[in-house]
Amino acid sequence: MSNLGRPDYQQIASNYGITVHKVEVGDETWNESGSVHLNRSFCGGIDEIVIGVYEDIDWEIASFFHELGHCITTNTFEGDYLKFHIELDAWMVGLQEAYKYGYVIQPSTLKFMIECLESYIGWEEREVRGYKNEKWRLH
Ligand SMILES: [Zn+2]
Cβ–Cβ under 8 Å, residues 53 and 23: yes
Share of the chain above pLDDT 90, in %: 76
C-alpha–C-alpha distance, residues 38 and 28, integer Å: 14
Tell me how far the alpha carbon of residue 87 lies from the centroid of ligand 1, in angstroms.
5
C-alpha distances out from residue 38 to 18, 26, 99, Å: 22, 12, 26
pLDDT at 91 over 60: yes
pLDDT in tens, 18-67: 999 999 999 999 999 878 999 999 999 899 999 999 999 999 999 999 99
Tell me how far the alpha carbon of residue 5 lies from the centroid of ligand 1, in angstroms.
22
Domain ranges (residues) in the chain: 9-106
The answer for residues whose C-beta is within 8 angstroms of residue 86's C-beta and 6 or more apart is: 70, 77
Tell me how far the alpha carbon of residue 137 lies from the centroid of ligand 1, in angstroms.
9
Tell me how far the alpha carbon of residue 39 lies from the centroid of ligand 1, in angstroms.
12
